[in-house]
Amino acid sequence: MTRGSMPGTRLTQSTMEPDAPGDPAELPRYFDRQTGLLQRRVFVDPAIFRQELSGIFRRSWLFVGPGNWLARSGDFVTSRMGDESVIVWRSEEGTLRVFVNRCLAGHQPVCSEPRGWALQLSCPCHHWLYNSRGQLLSEPSHALGEIPRVAGYKGLIFANHDPGAVPLVDWLGEYAWYFDLILDRRPGGLEAYGHDAFRWTVDANWKLPVDAFCGDISRDLTLPAASMRTPEELLPSAPQEGFQVFTDNGAMAVMTGRVERGRTNPHSQIGEPRISFEPILGTLFPTLSFDWRTPSLHVWHPLSPSRTEIHSYCLVDAHAPAWEKEAARRAFQFQYGPAGIRSEDDAVLWRSITSRSAGRRDYPFHLRMGLGRERRTNLPGTFGDLVSEANQRAFFDWWQRHLVEPQQAVTQIHRANVVDNIAGVNFG
């Protein structure tokens, strides 16, 4: 994201927000795809945040946990879907289910542990017991709210509040071709490594880290010197050859013509032409991002317009030896987490942009780098220059379309059987 604004360019009420939104063509517009101009209010406005929770996070497939941490009956992790805490729990029968992490007796969470194993969980307030089907043991007809859609994709578990949502594979669409650059890159695939994800909060809007992880390569050229002096194997210099690409729900920055260094069995699972592609950064809409330079997944959970909870997972080759996995974990910890060099560099910018967006809202952010240079090829998606803001423009276009398109709102969480039946399937 271009961090300033050009003097004299303003998004006014007449040009960006019609007074009487009625049909879809007249709904408020916060981002202009043709000019690359974005209103500052999208990072601080409570009304827009409420729209996001109902219009985006209640209708999108959201990542809730790694499959290898949920392989056995009784395994659970706590995660978030939007601003709501959830429990991802493999039941005694082997079915993977997702429950709202809120006791029926009140608003206390049933579980505060990030990860564990249990066939029953007890609310710490009233000590009500729930089994792994979400039922209250003393009254099985009462149960925790259950998220109706759960599905997995190559080791990653997703859930969706909307019982009528399209299947996960359709949500991925063409992006799966690029997503598999990471997930199918090794024999046996990838897995999350460590006791838990790094979890911390930052006083910034959730869309700012998504913007960066859509493929903001230009920020690597301006990182503080302390970051750039880390060993080459931990933080390669900014790439010069490659491209950005976006599809309906995903974006990625990719290097080309490069052979990976220091990795076990490179390219063993992917063929031409992807064998010459190495992913850098990418995002699946709305909040799942990855950094392949220090293999990791990052999820940006919105808590408020100006506060985000971050969950970061270390990724390793599932079949790698223990010493290699531990080395990957140390490299990941060096870069990411509450004290990670890259995390601290990024968080300073995100906090600053969020706080300053509450000021002169009539002067927009500019996402104009590479505007007009997008192009189609014989490969999936639309391409842009590697150092550009093509993917950022695509993200805010997705965001706006999901935010304002008239769709039936999801008003309740259905306690129903999981639609995508994944009982007994080990996604690890």
Query: Are 147 and 179 part of one and the same domain?
Result: no
pLDDT of residue 106: 78
Pair 189, 310 in one domain: yes
Query: Mean of the pLDDT values across residues 233-258?
Result: 73
Alpha helices per DSSP H over 120-263: 168-172, 175-183, 207-213, 225-228
Distance (Å, whole) CA 233 – CA 220: 15
* Stretch 104-131: mean pLDDT: 92
User: Over the range 42-66, which residues count as b (16 or more CB within 10 Å of their CB) and which as e?
Assistant: bbbbeebbeebebbbbbbbbbbbbb
CATH code of the domain in which 243 resides = 3.90.380.10
Q: What is the DSSP string of 68-123?
A: GGS-STTEEEEEEETTEEEEEEE-TTS-EEEEES--TTSSS-S---SEEE-SEEE-
- Segment 176-203, tens digit of pLDDT: 999 998 888 777 889 999 999 999 999 9
Residues in a beta bridge with 116:
76
Indicate if 77 and 171 belong to the same structural domain.
Answer: no
The answer to whether 100 and 108 are in contact (CB under 8 A) is no
Q: How far is it, in rounded angstroms, from Cα 300 to Cα 58?
A: 15
* Domain identity same for 326 and 230: yes
| Cβ atoms < 10 Å from Cβ of 258 | 14
Same domain, 133 and 191: no
Measured CA angle at 73 (ends 68, 74), to 5 deg:
95
pLDDT of residue 233: 44
Query: Which CATH number characterizes residue 136's domain?
Result: 2.102.10.10
Average pLDDT on 403-419 reads 45
How sure is the predictor about 271, in pLDDT bands with cuts at 50, 70 and 90?
Answer: low
Closest CA to 63 of 154, 156, 147: 156
- As a whole number of angstroms, the distance between CA 87 and CA 300 comes to 17
Residues 139 and 191 in one domain: no
Q: In angstroms, rounded to a whole number, what is the distance separating the alpha carbons of residues 12 and 9?
A: 10
Q: Write down the pTM of the prediction.
A: 0.85
Interval 16-51: pLDDT, tens:
443 333 444 455 689 999 999 999 999 999 999 999
Could you list the residue range(s) of the whole structural domain that residue 335 is in? 167-404
Same domain, 172 and 310: yes
Structurally, how many domains does the chain consist of? 2
Residues 80 and 210 placed together within one structural domain of the fold: no
Render pLDDT for 150-160 as a digit per residue (tens, 0 to 9).
Answer: 999 999 999 99
Which of 125, 152, 179 is at the close of a domain?
A: 152
| Distance, first Cα to last Cα, the chain | 36
Q: Clarify whether residues 248 and 389 are in a common domain.
A: yes
Residue 270: per-residue pLDDT: 63
Contact between 314 and 68 (Cβ < 8 Å):
no
Residue 309 bridge partners (DSSP):
201, 301
Q: At what angle do helices 341-356 and 322-335 cross, to 10 degrees?
A: 30
Do both 67 and 175 map to the same domain? no
Decide if 6 is inside a domain: no
Percentage of residues of the chain with pLDDT beyond 90: 63
State the number of CA atoms in the 13 A half-sphere of 98 facing the CB: 30
The phi, psi pair for 95, rounded to 5°, reads -85, 135
- Does any domain span residue 351? yes
Q: How confident is the model at residue 221 (pLDDT cuts 50, 70, 90)?
A: low
